Amino acid sequence: MKDVKNIFSDVKFVPSTNHEDQRGFFSEIYNEYDFKKINIEDNFLQDNLSYSDKKNTLRGMHFQLKPYSQSKLIKVIKGSIFDVFIDLRLESEYFEKFGYYNLNENDGWIYIPKGFAHGFLTTSDHTIVMYKVDSYYNNKKESGIIWNDQFFNIPWPTTDSELIISEKDSSLPSWSSIKEQNIEDI
């Protein structure tokens, strides 16, 4: 793993181990007991899988409003991503700060607690990302921040002309317009 910016003690990298032999490898990718040993106590209720055909596909910056806010466990199954998280917790000393990890299929999990916006950019073709969440998705409580919000100035490793993004994600509001509303529900 390389190129990491993580100032948050509660955003955690959790390594995984591959047991290799002449056939390939075996990996226990999730064991609740192992996560509880490092104080990740969430009850993960839903598993999601994302496939992106091309490099420079951006998904984010998403979050769910209370009571559907979600903690996430993110793992790259195939390919690589630039994974970004923004602290939107009003009570946090790191409110409005962001961090990132470059992750690939040989890395472990990233744990992101409730109260963060999350997104990623694929840095290789044919990328598969798995993530577990501890609250069910609710389309009436989904929200997000535009990926290139100048307040955060995230150093995405791509150019606008290379970017592949959905119409929905490219139409997300700025952080300043979200802050004007009641952000107590984040």
- Give the model's pLDDT for residue 2: 57
pLDDT in tens, the chain (186 residues): 457 889 999 999 998 888 899 999 898 889 999 999 999 999 999 999 999 999 999 999 999 999 999 999 999 999 999 999 999 999 999 999 999 999 999 999 999 999 999 999 999 999 999 999 999 999 999 999 999 999 999 999 999 999 999 999 999 999 999 988 767 788
Q: What pLDDT does 119 receive? A: 98
- List residues with catalytic annotation: 62, 131
The pLDDT value given to residue 1:
46
Q: What is the CATH number of the domain that holds 160?
A: 2.60.120.10
- CA-based radius of gyration for the chain: 16
Q: What pLDDT is attached to residue 8?
A: 94
For 56, counting Cβ atoms within 10 Å of its Cβ (0-12 exposed, 13-18 middle, 19+ buried), the class is buried
Number of domains in the chain: 1
Residue 61 belongs to what domain range? 2-185
**The pLDDT of residue 99:** 97
